[in-house]
């Protein structure tokens, strides 16, 4: 089996589109914290992203999205709990689940809209962003031979080369794929398709949008919240 593991703002939509195009049996698993199983007979494609970009993209997306948990008093993970996670994983992460109702008194989206950009990014960093980044950081199988990490930034820089490396890893010949995978390349997508896709918050295709919105204060908060190697662990620089 080929498993794709993604998370909030690490390529949620893109990875699903790619997986649907493959001529092999695949399964997409979402939320790093809830999928720590690893069978050496299977292969795992792990979609990751710069932690600061995860936070920034999440902030910009949650201000405009229609996900019900951002608009109502709902646990962010309710659908996934009912339809996606295993019972064992739910029990193992019960304390995390208790902390994921981010719209208890005021809808999450309303909170973000009423804050300044700096305040909103900090709020996202302390809530949904922290859940994603720490789940990515704590995933235990990066060193396994049957695990391949795919960085969103690599797809941005050289999409088809990264795709071909992924296909080689799972032993799929690109000539066996009926769909043209290049159509998912953000750098080649038409402006209309990008503008109408709410999941794409980086409409101008800037590689690191967080640099346009982060202040020295936010960098300081990130240093307080996350482990010291949260960037270097994944090959990102502190710039």
**Tens-place pLDDT, residues 58-100:** 999 999 999 999 999 889 999 999 999 999 999 999 999 998 9
What percentage of the chain exceeds 90 in pLDDT?
A: 77
- pLDDT above 90 for 104: no
Mean pLDDT of the chain: 91
Over residues 96-109, mean pLDDT: 89
Q: Does 229 reside within a domain?
A: yes
Asked, for residue 173, whether it belongs to a domain, the answer is yes
Name the domain count of the chain: 1
* Structure tokens given for 188: 């080649």
* Domain-located, residue 31: yes
Does a structural domain hold residue 146?
A: yes
C-alpha 29: how far from chain center? 11
Question: What tens digit of pLDDT does each residue of 66-76 get?
Answer: 999 999 988 99
Residue range 22-47: mean pLDDT, rounded: 96
In the Cβ-directed half-sphere of 94, how many Cα atoms lie within 13 Å?
Answer: 4
Confidence check: pLDDT of 231 > 80: yes
| pTM score | 0.91
- Nearest CA-CA partner of 3 in 30, 208, 151: 30
**Residue 239, in any domain of the structure:** no
Q: In what order do the strands lie in the sheet with 26-30?
A: 26-30, 2-6, 43-48, 147-151
Residue 55 lies in a domain: yes
CATH number at residue 220: 3.40.50
Domain coverage including residue 203: 2-234
């Amino acid at each position: 089996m080929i498993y794709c593991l993604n998370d909030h703002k690490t390529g949620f939509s893109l990875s699903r589109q790619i997986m649907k195009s493959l001529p092999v049996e695949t399964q997409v698993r979402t939320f790093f914290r809830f999928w720590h199983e690893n069978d050496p007979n299977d292969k795992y494609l792990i979609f990751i992203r710069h932690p600061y970009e995860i936070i920034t993209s999440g902030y910009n997306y949650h201000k405009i999205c229609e996900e019900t948990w951002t608009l109502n008093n709902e646990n962010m993970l309710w659908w996934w709990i009912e339809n996606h996670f295993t019972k064992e994983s739910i029990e193992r992460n019960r304390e995390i689940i208790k902390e994921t109702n981010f719209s208890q008194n005021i809808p999450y989206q309303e909170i973000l809209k009423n804050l300044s950009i700096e305040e909103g990014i900090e709020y996202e960093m302390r809530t949904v962003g922290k859940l994603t980044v720490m789940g990515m950081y704590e995933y235990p199988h990066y060193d396994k031979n049957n695990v391949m990490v795919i960085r969103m930034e690599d797809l941005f820089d050289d999409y088809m080369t990264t795709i071909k490396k992924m296909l080689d890893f799972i032993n799929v010949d690109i000539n066996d794929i009926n769909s043209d995978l290049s159509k998912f390349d953000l750098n080649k997508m038409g402006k209309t398709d990008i503008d109408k896709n709410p999941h794409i918050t980086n409409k101008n295709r800037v590689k690191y949008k967080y640099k346009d919105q982060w202040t020295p204060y936010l960098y300081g908060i990130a240093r307080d919240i996350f482990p010291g190697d949260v960037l270097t662990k994944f090959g990102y620089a502190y710039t």
